[in-house]
A and B are shown apart, each in its own frame.
Chain A
Amino acid sequence: EPEVTQTPSHQVTQMGQEVILRCVPISNHLYFYWYRQILGQKVEFLVSFYNNEISEKSEIFDDQFSVERPDGSNFTLKIRSTKLEDSAMYFCAWHQGEINSPLHFGNGTRLTVT
């Protein structure tokens, strides 16, 4: 069982709507990542988050995306106005120990934008 649970497991939303994807709970992990996987394509890095700040982000992570850790536990990814091409699996990831330890992934949230 992963240390982190992603919710919801599946989200269906209409184009233009806002969605919030969550990783819960987080213990004392400091480094978090969001990745996405469009159906049949490679897993793509979106953003990394350390100590309540974005430390690195990809070109995919534009102004429509935001991340935060509002209560010190949940780690969220918000898509402000979804587009059809945002349909994908979204994975939360974290380091098991130190930052140079391998990444571990949650089971993902399947986002379907209609």
Chain B
Amino acid sequence: GDSVTQMEGPVTLSEEAFLTINCTYTATGYPSLFWYVQYPGEGLQLLLKATKADDKGSNKGFEATYRKETTSFHLEKGSVQVSDSAVYFCALSDHSGYALNFGKGTSLLVTP
């Protein structure tokens, strides 16, 4: 079945460092891909999405490109801030039922 694999956390970075959180997926067909963020004590918020190969999703300085050839959707940000500290979830939807299949999440801690 469909699955999402994220790099293990926690990830600790200094402010203004470059961030990459790896995400790879397995799916039949052409799923839509998402990144969700969960700030401490809050629910999940959609961060960005991509619905087809080579699409680039972007929001709040974060970017991720849908790479069909490597089945990846890595999250990047050029300069992280303390306020980016959160748990980041990669997810896919294969459209057969529109439910999301999540990765295990990657915790990010940004220190001043």
Contacts and interface: CB of A to CB of B under 8 A. Distances in A.
B112 interface: no
Given A42-B104, A44-B102, A56 B46 contact: no
A102 B46 contact: yes
Contact of B89 (A43, A45, A107): A43
B11 to A, nearest CB: 16
Nearest to B101: A45
Nearest to B4: A42
B43 A106 contact: yes
A91 B93 CA distance: 17
A28 interface: no
B105 A43 contact: yes
Interface residues of A, number: 25
B59 to A, nearest CB: 11
Contacts of B89: 42-43
B49 A102 contact: yes
Nearest to B6: A42
B69 interface: no
Contact of B43 (A42, A48, A102, A108): A108
Interface residues of B, number: 21
Contacts of B44: 43, 91, 93, 105
A107 B95 CA distance: 25
B45 interface: yes
A84 B91 CA distance: 27
B104 A100 contact: no
A48 B98 contact: yes
A45 B100 contact: yes
A42 B49 contact: no
B97 A48 contact: yes
Given A106-B43, A108-B43, A100 B98 contact: yes
A104 interface: yes
Interface of B: 32, 34, 36, 42-46, 49, 89, 91, 95, 97-105
The 10 lowest CB-CB distance pairs between A and B, nearest first, are A105-B44, A56-B97, A107-B43, A43-B102, A42-B104, A45-B99, A105-B43, A108-B43, A102-B46, A42-B102
